[in-house]
Structure formats: C-alpha cells, structure tokens
Structure 1
Amino acid sequence: MPKIVNTHQAEAWNGYEGKHWAENQDRYDAVNAGFNDLLITAADLSPDDRVLDIGCGNGRISRLIAPHVAHVTGVDLSGPMLARARMTATGVPNMTFEQGDAQVHPFPPHAFDVAVSRFGVMFFADPVAAFANIRGGLRPGGRLAFLSMRDLGDLAEVFAAFGGSPMSTSTETGPLSLSDPTVIDRVLTGAGFTDVTAEAVEADQVWGRDVADATEFIMGWGPVRFALRDASPSTVDEIRDSVAAALAPHADGDAVRLRGTARLVTARA
C-alpha cells in the first residue's frame, strides 16, 4: 500500500464513498460533465504533453485527454475508483493509473508537463505541501489547471431539506477549502507556483432523469448517507420527501439539472 497521510479521506474513498462513485460512474460523470471542456481548454494541451490527473477517480478526464497528448497518469486514493478507471481504459496504451496520496506520492521529478484535476484537490490534509509535491513532478514552466468548488450552487436548496448541509460548508477544510481566490493564491504561491489565476465558472449538473431518480441518487450519496446514519426511518422518509420537493423546480422533462459553481484555477511551476 502506498504511503498515505490523508487517512480520513483514504478511509472514505476506499469505503462506501469510493464504492458508490465506482458503481455509479456514469451518473457522477453526468453530474460533472459540464465542467470538462472548461478544464481541458484551460490546460492548454499539446500532443507531446505528459499529463498528471490528480484525484482522477473513475478516470473520465484522463480518458478525454489521452487521445490528444503523449501520456496521462491518473493518481487517486480510491482503490474502487481506480479499478473502474482501469477497466474503462482497457486498450488505451498511453494511460496508466496509480493509487496514492498526492500530498506525499513519489512523483518522478519534472516528469510531467501538465497537472490537471476536476474537483480532486479540495481535501488535502496540508494543501501547501500537496501542491509543492505536485509542483516537484512538473517540469520547470509546467502548467497546473484544476477545478474546485466555489459554493454549493443549487445544491444549497436541496441541502436545506436536511436542516443543515450534510456536506461541510467550512472554507477552512473540505469541499470549499479552495473556494476563495485569496486562499488559492496563498496556497499555490506558498507551494512555489506563479501566474496564479482563479476564474469563477458554472455549469449545469445532471442529477437524474426525473425527480424520483435524482432523489434516490442523492439519498445514496456518501455525505448524505453519513449525515443520516443515526436518523430514524420516519425522519429519512421526511427528508426524502423534502429533497424531492426541492428538486422538482429543476426538472425540465428529460433530466433534473442543478447549477453548479466552481473556480477554474491555472498556475505555472
């Protein structure tokens, strides 16, 4: 097993959370697909590029990038998701996946031209150390491009059904830890990056084909399942009804779409 310092996240992504993402690969891809082109364009890829995909998960960004570059290496904490990534990458010769904690993973020095991440960099135990380690894997002048959550977007309406968000809204740790451009700049410059930019972007996120489908998917999502672990069956039923009511205005006939918001960040090593 590779060295891990972010043990809490490793437990989650190798437990229920990681298994749920792996088993629902297509669904999570649909949630985040609207951001794919924004990230790939920002990465400014070239045919000779060697790319590092940080927190690659099920490997969707790696698979999209692979036809346009020399090689993609995906790194993630999650064994279940990496297994899914390798399975869907069968027959693609220029793509490999490694299990590891990006904060301490032994990246070969200056081995990559570009590092990218789609919502895979918000949970580092020590973000400055993590990005410094990633920078060490980039050649001098190499590029960094990633997406991080800006706020909860339309999910805030859905989470109101819980009487308090099942996902941490702290800007110190968790999914919103890289939501503030000032923090992003401080972390990345502290890690040795330059030319830092942080643009506000947004996209539709498809959570299900109809309200009932989206409701059950959200009720099975890791943060929600954890938040309801001690709730009574009647309370869970009440919350499920409230989630469905919050989702109803976002159903447009063929899908339930929530507006997601993000920071699109770029920097130079």
Structure 2
Amino acid sequence: MIDRGNQPEPASSTMFDYDAELRRYHRWLSEALDVAPSDHVLDIGCGTGQLTRDSAKLAHQGSALGVDISPVMLGHARRLTATEEIPNVRFEQADAQVYPFPPEHFTRAASRFGTMFFADPVAAFTNIGRALQPGSRLVQLVWQDSAEQEWVGAIHQALTGNATPAASTGAFSLGDPARVDDILTAAGFKDITSTDLREPIYYGTDPDAGVDAVRVLHMTTDLLSRLDADETQRALDRLRATMAEHHTADGVWFDSRAWLVTAYR
C-alpha cells in the first residue's frame, strides 16, 4: 500500500509524485532504517520504489523487496530499477496484510506512509512480523491526526469553503501513538517508539503545478465530484489562490506532521 489518503484515482493517467511530495521525510526514514550491506529489506507500500532501490544499493550483499497494490506505480518502479541497473531488488503487486512472505527472511522492514489502510491492522502487522527475523527492526512513517496537517485544512477550505478537516480515519488512522503501540504489541512487536516529526510537503514548482498535482488526489476528486461545473471552477480558482499563498522561491509547500514509528520483532 501507499499513502491512500493521497491516492490518485485508479483510472487517472496522471501519477502523483509522492517522492517529490515527501522528500523531507524520506531522509528520516532512511536514517532510522539504517540498512547494512547484508540486510534483506521489505518495503511495504513501496510506490515507485525510491526507498526499495536506495535500500538495495546499501544492502549490496543482501536484497530488497518492494510490495504495493498499484500496478502503475510498480511498473514505474521496475523501469527505474532497470535504468539504474540494480540487480538485488524486485517488486511484487501484493497486499502486505495477506501476502505469503517467506518466514523469518527479512532483517529490516519499512513503510513510508503505506500502512494506514489495512482492514485489520493487527493481522497485517502480524503477517509482516512473521516475515522478519527475530530482533529485526520495523520503521514506518504515518501521518499524525488530520487536524495537524496544514495541507488537509487548506485544500478542504479551498474546495468547500469549510476548514474542517476530514475525520481521523483512513490516512490518519495511525495518528494516535497509543493505538499504534497497542496494535504493534498485539502483533508481536516490542520496544515501540514514536518520534514527532514536522516537515513541509511539496506540491510543485508554482501554483498551477500545485493545482495539477492535487487534482489527482482522492480527497480532491471526491470533493469536486459533489460540485456542478460552475462550483467546480470557483473551487479550482480558490485552490489556485491557496497554492499561490504557499508559493515560495523553492516551490509550493504546506506544513505537515508525522510519527516516525520504530519497533522490533
């Protein structure tokens, strides 16, 4: 899985650039994962495979497997891998909640905003845990509560005129560290820590690019689907104005907060 709170519509020909959006968070996850040359890494909700490829390069005596439910993103991941000529990485279209991973094979597991949509999170993390060797590390990034996300409130305000963010489910279902602790403990993990991170997320080089980027997000298409043509145009005009308000010399940025969650099998 990938960050389905920002999920593009399956039929869309445009693929959202999560790697650009989450560039400030990627380094935190990579540092916490701390891949060694002999590691075998599982990347859950790998998207286009940035973390998977980076891990494979570090684990040059080991391997990296990326799993995601999106065939479009996995196709892009495989093309990038072929271009970079990385021999020890592969990708599978799979739901990590039920996929039959080889037992006790991996020494590291990671997810960049890809674990919040499991129908049964205890079952999902139990399945992931079975794939890890005892003592192995799980590192994941998850969004904090939706009320902590400037991007949620700003986009919602622009499209609806109401600043009330979405309920803390879906993309924000793991925003409560106590709940995450309970889930991971029930799934067989220990030494669980949640570190508060605050980083801006990127939505393009300029306001027009920002509008184009967020138009393919599920939250945007869902809100726009409720409007008629005139209302849609007014909403998009407000959205562009919002992007302009957040436009800097380095592009369009919105504040966000996440938890960096670390646990051991």
The TM-score with structure 2 as length reference comes to 0.89
Q: 2:202 aligns with which of 201, 206, 209?
A: 206
Identity %: 37
What are the ranges of 5 or more consecutive residues in structure 2 without an aligned counterpart?
Answer: none
Counting only pairs closer than 5 Å after superposition, residues 1-269 of structure 1 correspond to structure 2 as 15-16=10-11, 20-21=14-15, 24=16, 27-69=17-59, 70-90=62-82, 91-152=85-146, 153-155=149-151, 156-163=153-160, 169-171=166-168, 173-269=169-265
RMSD: 2.2
For residues 146-173 of structure 1, the C-alpha deviation after alignment (integer angstroms, 9 at most, x for no partner) is 00111342212222123378998333x3
Equivalent-residue separation in structure 1 for 2:70 and 2:174 (angstroms): 21
Residue 266 of structure 1 aligns to a residue whose secondary structure is strand
| 1:136, distance to aligned residue in structure 2 (A) | 0.3
Supply the AA of the counterpart residue of 1:74: G
Pair 1:164–1:110, CA change in 2 (3 A): farther
When the two structures are aligned, how many residues end up with a matched partner? 254
- Indicate conservation of the 8 Å contact 1:168/1:175, yes or no: no
Answer with 63-72 or 29-38: which moved more: 63-72
Judge conservation of contact 1:53–1:117 (CA < 8 Å) in 2: yes
One-letter identity of the residue aligned with 2:11: Y
Give the direction of change, closer, same or farther, for the CA distance of 1:167–1:142 in structure 2 (3 Å limit): farther
How far 1:79 moved relative to its partner?
A: 1.1
Residues 77-132 of structure 1 show CA distances to partners (whole Å, capped at 9, x for unaligned) of: 11111111111110210100011111100010001001000001010000010000
Tell me: CA distance 1:115–1:129, structure 2 relative to 1, closer, same or farther (3 Å).
same
Offset of residue 44 of structure 1: 2.3
Specify every segment of 5 or more residues in structure 1 that has no aligned partner in the other structure, as ranges: 1-5
CA contact (8 A) 1:13 1:78 kept: no
> In structure 2, the residue corresponding to 1:107 is in which secondary structure?
coil
